[in-house]
Amino acid sequence: MNDPATGGGMIGLVAATHLEAEEIISILDLRAVQREPFPVFEGRGMRLIISGIGKANAAMASAYLILKGGPRCVCNLGAAGATGDCRALGECLHVSRVLEPDRIDPATARPRVHDIETLEGFTTVSLATQDSPVVDIDQRRMLAPVAELVDMEAAAVTQACHRLRVRCHVFKFVSDTPVHGDVGLIRENILTHRAGFARFFACQVRPRLV
């Protein structure tokens, strides 16, 4: 097993679902190498793990990926909802700050906040991670002053990487906005925009990680 403090040559990728990861797997020409305890795909110096939805799954999968392979960095990739109207469906964004509205810091009585290292040249945003999906318009409006996006995994991936001393980046594409809260519509939007996000990662992000 590689030492996670020093890292290896591999780049780790964490996606919540196969729905979000399928085009990334295809465009990077990754092959399936295991099914349990998490599905893993790898090739060309990349290893992608599908965590499952939610913070607990994301934390376990990220720790497993790091301790098993010792990547030099980890990227959390996938869909996220927009809390306001200023982000377009399919827009690809780089997360610089993650907060957890459902996890209060006892020292401050405020949501936990995690700053993330970013790469230059990308549009950066803040993101709120919580275990309950945020699809209601009123819930989104409440979060809008502090976070432009919402998801269910990024904070957990970030914390696992920080604890195990591995560089972490988060990239998301907008799958829904306050007027696209229907679950079926969100799925359709992911299917529509995931290929563009995969190309964005392969062509614009990946070369910056090498």
Would you state the pLDDT for residue 86? 87
Beta-sheet strands, E only, within 70-117: 73-82, 92-105, 110-115
Q: Residue 201 in 3-state DSSP?
A: helix
> Is the CB of residue 100 less than 8 Å from the CB of residue 153?
no
Would you state the pLDDT for residue 106? 80
- Provide the token pair at 204: 């614009």
Task: Supply the angle between the helices 154-163 and 55-69 in degrees, to the nearest 10.
Answer: 40
Tens-digit pLDDT string for the chain (210 aa): 343 333 358 999 999 999 999 999 999 999 999 999 999 999 999 999 999 999 999 999 999 999 998 999 999 999 999 999 889 999 999 999 999 988 887 877 787 888 899 999 999 999 999 987 777 788 888 888 999 999 999 999 999 999 999 999 999 999 998 886 677 789 999 999 999 999 999 999 999 997
pTM to 2 decimals?
A: 0.91
Query: How far is residue 15 from each of residues 142, 150, 153, 200, measured CA to CA in Å?
Result: 26, 15, 9, 15
- Provide the token pair at 99: 């907060």
> Is the CB of residue 77 less than 8 Å from the CB of residue 87?
no
> Is the CB of residue 192 less than 8 Å from the CB of residue 169?
no
User: What is the number of other CB atoms lying within 10 angstroms of the CB of residue 109?
Assistant: 7
Q: Is the peptide bond before 37 cis (omega within 30 degrees of 0)?
A: yes
| CATH architecture for segment(s) 11-209 | 3-Layer(aba) Sandwich (3.40)
Pairing of strands 110-115, 92-105: antiparallel
- Provide the token pair at 16: 């919540």
DSSP tag of 187: H
Would you state the pLDDT for residue 181? 63
Q: Is 58 exposed, middle or buried (0-12, 13-18, 19+ CB in 10 A)?
A: buried
